Structure 1
Amino acid sequence: MRPLRAFLGLSLLVSSACVHGGNISTPPSDLSERSQRLAQRLIIADGHIDMPYRLNGGRSPEGVFSEDVAQRTAQGDFDYPRAREGGLDVAFMAIYVPAELQATPGRSKALADGLIDMTETIVRAAPDKFALVASPDEVERNTREGKISFALGIENGSALEDAVANVAHFHARGVRYITLTHSKDNLLGDSSYNQDTRTWNGLSPLGRQVVAEMNRVGIMVDVAHVSDDVIRQVLALSQVPVIASHSSCRHFTPGFERNLSDELIQAVAAKGGVVMINFGSGFLLQAAHDAEARVRQAVQDFKVQKGPAVTPAEIEAFVKAYVSEHPMPRARVEDVADHIDHVVKLVGIDHVGFGSDFDGVGPTLPVGLEDVSKYPNLLRVLLERGYSEEDLEKLASGNVFRVWRQVEAHARGR
């Protein structure tokens, strides 16, 4: 999830956005049909979808959801019909904990537990469509049964509070990766977004204990959102490969530490890990990244001008007007393929995957990858570029399943 959305507390309306590089060329129909068939045949894993937090914000005081994702929904990027159309088999559902909750002890863990409860409720309500999973083997079984699997990944290690014992607690609840930080430094280490603070100059002493405990119990370490020093220290400390669940390549966005540098992509790969490419336009294109920064600054200036009495409705109206006057650049599906190409050229096909950030980056998604029904478009572009079906199987899920299994095997002592 991007700080832009968390900062504003709303979805930006950018339907009038500029499209980077012109229109998507129309592919040969046979290649489109092949990509559709492949999407249904391959197991597709997405490393990061923010559906739980999105639905949590739409619940009534009685706990009733505003939308039923077992049916086609009018809002958001994920629901069962669209996921089936796109061939999605397992979504790592992000248990997102906003950084501002860190100020009050107990709130971060309570929200994480509540979002897991909520995800379990969704599964119980549609057991013929959804299933929670704790291993790749369970994903494969559910796929054979026609179910979409939900794996759980905590986005922000602040959910652990100050207790290493909470790693085992969340493992028992089904969590299979933890993103160590989010938009601010926390008790575990430094965030990529806090370049001026560097509270710990990498991992904290607690963070080092947490990484070791994650290795012990069998939870993947996720280095998305963390500072470069945290990544280096995690790689030195971890006994198993790590993932970046929704990060793209800094090569295309120089200075944006949230994306991974070539050096760090190579280091993650050398450890056996996987970089899962984020689909948000601000991760893919420098122009979109710069435009998002201007929106954040404009909103901040507006809030200062209006004072503490400013309402969310006023902020939303301001953002709509601002974006209407300053169209936001949007990436294309080809730009996602460019980032995949870059990782492959650096470290090979075994170290890249999909980490869309659906339901987290909203309408900044690329043209051609607007929701979970669109994975075939990405497969089609990759086929056009010469990727084999074996390559696509690794990209779609094989690489992240390999890491997941290695982490499991280490925890079992094998």
Structure 2
Amino acid sequence: MRPSTAFLSLVLLASSACTHGTNRQETPVSPSPTDPAERGRELARRFIIADGHIDVPYRLREKLGPDGAPTEDVAQRTAEGDFDYPRAVEGGLDVAFMSIYIPAEYQEKGGAKSLADSLIDLVEKLARGSPEKFAMARSVEEARRNSQEGKVSFALGIENGAAIEDKLENVAHFQRRGVRYITLTHSKDNQLSDASFNRGKRTWNGLSPFGKQVVAEMNRVGIMVDVSHLSDDAIRQAVESSQVPVIASHSSCRHFTPGFERNISDELIRAVAGKGGVVMINFGSGFLSQAANAYEGQIRKAMMDFATERGLKQDSPELKAFAESYLREHPLPLARVEDVADHIDHVVKLVGIDHVGLGSDFDGVGPTLPIGLKDVSQYPNLFRVLLERGYGEADIEKIASGNVFRVWQQVEAHAASR
């Protein structure tokens, strides 16, 4: 989820205090083989980790140089952001679903498909530029092979089905380009679906007629249906309409954040799991804890009031300075890595170990990331907590990648059988 509010976009600009990796677990001098921290690092090295949502493409697009090339090289260690190759290797990340993010404004002004194609081009160029480090993954088999060769895979997921525009044939176009899931909408209702953030009058009361056609076409060509960002009715209808399992690529549990529709309810977790799908837990603090979620509403209101009183635009320096001051005086109550484990626990207790995965939203939620999971180097911290809570290695492997790989393969097999 790219920032879609004044709060997150300005906090990303204003927060210079967030450093990456400052909460990493230090390796003991003589670690015991049974030490959970060391075991967590060992499992991260041994198991394939697939993260369902990382916002690197738009992060790079926002900082292009005069030649149109990104000013950051994620093949090297970067000073900013949550993802780069050295940190991915350190954390054991194998498969990054790169978010092809389409802001809602493109639904109105046009150009959504063109933007999606340009972001796919950017990801492919990253892989071509460092072939010893990165490779595209269009299938689970390719992802496994890349991992065996020591490469980090880039899989593709479009965040906002507005990229399809009003042409059903664009679904097959994006499948040919390597897209393996599509989030049907984002922060506003679009031509396919109602959005969770659009709390006013619903446009479709779920999916649009065209949205249901798109779901059927995604099933036909082999693209996973992603229900993150959808309204409750839209999620329910997407699950019912799809002939194969669906995913929520970066959604946490509403049980911990009552009233926050962007997270998924217990009823809908059961519905997704009942179809064989996977809920992939978002790492943003506002998704994880009620305190952080309430804080985001408070700072959003404070900034909107400040801007309204002074007639300021969202990108004004004065509003940015206000955000910096507010953050200093009222620090964000960050969640912790243990809170991510709580959400995993909740899904497992509701529907079993086969229906939960990881969808961090790295580079999409900025300084709201929890203590202990600040960037892609820190997945071992989560594995440590899961080990301490009694999860076995087979369970952790399912969470790390096994569950989403199963859905990915089921979707591919269904398309191949038609």
**TM-score between both structures, scaled by the size of structure 1:** 0.95
Q: Kindly provide the CA deviation profile for residues 50-100 of structure 1, in whole angstroms up to 9, marking residues without a partner as x.
A: 000001001123112111000000000000000000000000000001111
Alpha carbons of 1:308 and 1:384: their partners in 2 closer, same or farther (altered >3 Å)? closer
- What is the DSSP-based 3-state SS (H/G/I as helix, E as strand, rest coil) of the residue aligned with 2:98? strand
Contact 1:13 1:363 survives alignment (8 Å): no
Alpha carbons of 1:114 and 1:310: their partners in 2 closer, same or farther (altered >3 Å)? closer
Q: Kindly provide the CA deviation profile for residues 276-326 of structure 1, in whole angstroms up to 9, marking residues without a partner as x.
A: 000000000011011111122222222222325674323222211111111
Q: Distance in 2 between matches of 1:413 and 1:311?
A: 50
Residue of structure 1 in register with 2:269 after alignment: 265
- Amino acid corresponding to residue 104 of structure 1 in structure 2: K
- What is the DSSP-based 3-state SS (H/G/I as helix, E as strand, rest coil) of the residue aligned with 1:387? coil
Residue of structure 2 in register with 1:42 after alignment: 47
Is the aligned partner of 1:246 residue 2:245? no
Is the aligned partner of 1:103 residue 2:104? no
Contact 1:379 1:392 survives alignment (8 Å): yes
Structure 1 residue 13: deviation in Å?
4.8
Structure 1 residue 3: deviation in Å?
2.4
Q: Distance in 1 between matches of 2:273 and 2:401?
A: 16
Structure 1 residue 5: deviation in Å?
6.6
Count of aligned pairs between the two proteins: 408
- Amino acid corresponding to residue 202 of structure 1 in structure 2: G
Alpha carbons of 1:6 and 1:158: their partners in 2 closer, same or farther (altered >3 Å)? farther
Consecutive unaligned residues of structure 1, counting only runs of 5 or more, are 18-22
Q: How does 1:113-192 map to 2 (within 5 A)?
A: 113-192=117-196
Residue of structure 1 in register with 2:278 after alignment: 274
Contact 2:246 2:278 survives alignment (8 Å): yes
Q: How does 1:154-233 map to 2 (within 5 A)?
A: 154-233=158-237
- Amino acid corresponding to residue 308 of structure 2 in structure 1: V
Structure 1 residue 110: deviation in Å?
1.4
Residue of structure 2 in register with 1:11 after alignment: 12
- What is the DSSP-based 3-state SS (H/G/I as helix, E as strand, rest coil) of the residue aligned with 2:374? coil
- What is the DSSP-based 3-state SS (H/G/I as helix, E as strand, rest coil) of the residue aligned with 2:12? coil
Contact 2:7 2:296 survives alignment (8 Å): no
Q: Distance in 1 between matches of 2:106 and 2:66?
A: 20
- Amino acid corresponding to residue 345 of structure 1 in structure 2: K
| RMSD of equivalent CA atoms | 1.9
Q: Distance in 2 between matches of 1:275 and 1:55?
A: 27
- Amino acid corresponding to residue 148 of structure 1 in structure 2: V
Work out the percentage of aligned pairs sharing the same amino acid: 67
Q: Kindly provide the CA deviation profile for residues 383-404 of structure 1, in whole angstroms up to 9, marking residues without a partner as x.
A: 0000000000100000000000
- Amino acid corresponding to residue 408 of structure 2 in structure 1: W
Q: Distance in 2 between matches of 1:406 and 1:383?
A: 29
Residue of structure 1 in register with 2:36 after alignment: 31
Residue of structure 1 in register with 2:311 after alignment: 307
Q: Distance in 1 between matches of 2:159 and 2:36?
A: 36
- What is the DSSP-based 3-state SS (H/G/I as helix, E as strand, rest coil) of the residue aligned with 1:3? coil
Is the aligned partner of 1:396 residue 2:397? no
- Amino acid corresponding to residue 93 of structure 1 in structure 2: M
**TM-score between both structures, scaled by the size of structure 2:** 0.94
Residue of structure 2 in register with 1:87 after alignment: 92
Structure 1 residue 236: deviation in Å?
1.0
